[in-house]
Chains A and B, each alone.
Chain A
Amino acid sequence: MAAQGHRIDDTSLIREAQRGNRAAFEVLVRHYDQSVLRLAFHLTGSESDAQDIYQEAFLKAYKNLGSFRFECSFYTWIYRIVTNLCLDHLRKKSVRKEDAPVATDPSGEEYNLLEQVPDARAGADPERDLMRRELGRKIGTALSRLTPRERMVFELKHYHGLKLRTVGEMLNTTEETAKNTLFRATQKLRSALAEMR
């Protein structure tokens, strides 16, 4: 049925955008931009870095849309662009040896992505709140032990729920390689959390 409704919609929009219809491109962006921003925000830990990656990814997509040949879905294509930008960011970050996923909000205040809980219910129980913050710190430290690629595969699998075959396509590799990367990532995370007990 219109089980392909979204795809048909995308195909029409892509064709229109390739003809120079900017409004069509903007509609296309709206189909995916929340997920793109979410991915960039989780991996960079910074609102401004996430926004920069968002901007760069969609501008790159706009400039190169003429070369999109429907060999994969637009979803895979745009994610390929975003993951490459995020991997570049993670590689630069690991060179700077930053640890916890500390985010900076627009006013420049730092906060830990995994400690902050946007949940009013947590405030009613200080001890639970403290335990949650402590767990967040441990999770952040464990994630920082992963290589950029391991972090990316874990993020796409665990937080975005993508199939490993799709993850492989996005990272321009095979499903088997994505599987091995996920296995290594989970083993490292398990060891890291066990060490911190």
Chain B
Amino acid sequence: MKCDWVQQNLTFYVYNELEDDARYEIEQHLGRCPECAGELKASRKLHATFSQHIVVEPSPNLLASSRMRLQEALETTTQGGIWQRFIFEPANWMRQIRMSPALAAAIFIIGFAGGIGATYNYVSSHSTNGIEALNILKNESNAPEVAAANIAGIRSITQEPGSNQVSIKYDTLSTQEKTGSLSDSDIQQLLLLAARNNYNSGIRMDAVDQLTQAPNDTSVREALMYALRGDTNPGVRLKALEGLSAFVVRDVRVRDAVLQALINDANPGVRMQALRLVEPLKADSSVRSVLTRLSQSDQNTSIRTQARAMLAQVPELD
């Protein structure tokens, strides 16, 4: 009966889904039962087979084209349940007022149109080549002059019938500034956005550098893992590794992210740093299997040598 129960739960044991007491019971049983220990070995082998084999991931181009396609579709899609827009929730309204500066800054940072729309009249010059010089006139509300760098996007262009008056609606960007300490939730929110979305690698580096000072926070750790997995700049990935270094031993997700970097990162400097970080865990079976692979097939000689040296220090457990 006990063996049946143990073998039915070995899959969940391998996938770390058991409660602590069940886990303890299974480990006690495995120490006494060679048959169940053999079943565990087979379960782990299956897990490793699927984990080590690399599956093709969607390309950045596929993601980019999916995003563009969605953006186009959203322009002509309307939300359902129009009545829902008029539900007034006072508590949430108050929260919105507190959060709105950070929310506005968040939308600007990733470059979506979120600024103020204004309408201007353009008067064309009488030239044989058509419209050449455009004079911008302020409208009755005294809106500021147009500067091309501040324009986020053009919404519509309409010409008054029978006249040379053209009306163009456009959105503008406005830069805002927020000052605060790292413990300020708005500052943290902006840093998390900058680390994920900013198109300037220098800004992402600065954001990740700031976030490494507060890696105890779960969302900060997730942002650092995100940067390690997917940032295109190796300097940003190295900085993320630095921030995650204290958690490789105690956080399984961080360990797995570092192991993924060891296998997949194209930059040998990043792989070498990741290798140093997993050194205390070299006895762990998943780490050992990655080290084995590195020792055999990494392109970099130093990494292969280092991986072999680490494996040599670990006694064979199977």
Interface residues of A (CB under 8 A from B): 1-6, 8-9, 12-13, 15-16, 18-27, 29-30, 33-34, 37-38, 41-42, 47, 50-51, 54-55, 58-59, 62-67, 103, 111, 113-114, 116-122, 124-125, 128, 132, 135-136, 139, 157-159, 161, 163-164, 179, 182-183, 186, 189-190, 193
Please, how many angstroms separate the alpha-carbon atoms of A163 and B264 in the complex?
24
- Residues in B with CB closer than 8 Å to A190 are 42-43, 46
Minimal Cβ-Cβ distance residue in B for A11: B95
Number of A-B contacts (CB under 8 A): 188
- Residues in B with CB closer than 8 Å to A13 are 103
Instruction: Report yes or no: B219 in contact with A183, Cβ–Cβ below 8 A.
Output: no
Instruction: Report yes or no: A139 in contact with B50, Cβ–Cβ below 8 A.
Output: yes
Instruction: Report yes or no: A67 in contact with B219, Cβ–Cβ below 8 A.
Output: no
- Residues in B with CB closer than 8 Å to A135 are 49, 53
Minimal Cβ-Cβ distance residue in B for A67: B81
Query: Given contacts A51-B62, A59-B77, A118-B56, are A66 and B85 in contact (CB under 8 A)?
Result: yes
Interface residues of B (CB under 8 A from A): 8, 11-12, 15, 17, 42-43, 46-47, 49-51, 53-58, 62-63, 65-67, 69-71, 73-75, 77-81, 84-85, 92, 95-96, 99, 103, 106-107, 110, 112-114, 183, 185, 188-189, 192-193, 196-197, 214, 216-220, 222, 230, 253, 256, 264, 297-299
Minimal Cβ-Cβ distance residue in B for A22: B74
Minimal Cβ-Cβ distance residue in A for B92: A15
Instruction: Report yes or no: B57 in contact with A38, Cβ–Cβ below 8 A.
Output: yes
- Residues in B with CB closer than 8 Å to A66 are 79-81, 84-85
Please, how many angstroms separate the alpha-carbon atoms of A16 and B93 in the complex?
10
Query: Given contacts A6-B192, A18-B84, A66-B84, are A34 and B183 in contact (CB under 8 A)?
Result: no
Smallest Cβ distance from A166 to chain B, in angstroms?
11
- Provide 16 A-B residue pairs closer than 8 Å at the C-beta atoms, listed in order of the A residue: A1-B185, A2-B188, A12-B99, A21-B114, A26-B71, A27-B110, A29-B67, A33-B66, A37-B58, A37-B66, A38-B57, A59-B73, A63-B80, A67-B84, A117-B54, A189-B50
- Residues in A with CB closer than 8 Å to B253 are 161
Smallest Cβ distance from A159 to chain B, in angstroms?
7
Please, how many angstroms separate the alpha-carbon atoms of A135 and B47 in the complex?
14
Instruction: Report yes or no: B58 in contact with A114, Cβ–Cβ below 8 A.
Output: no
Instruction: Report yes or no: A2 in contact with B185, Cβ–Cβ below 8 A.
Output: yes
Query: Given contacts A20-B85, A63-B77, A117-B54, are A186 and B62 in contact (CB under 8 A)?
Result: no
Instruction: Report yes or no: A50 in contact with B54, Cβ–Cβ below 8 A.
Output: no
Smallest Cβ distance from B13 to chain A, in angstroms?
12
Query: Given contacts A9-B189, A23-B112, A189-B46, are A41 and B85 in contact (CB under 8 A)?
Result: no
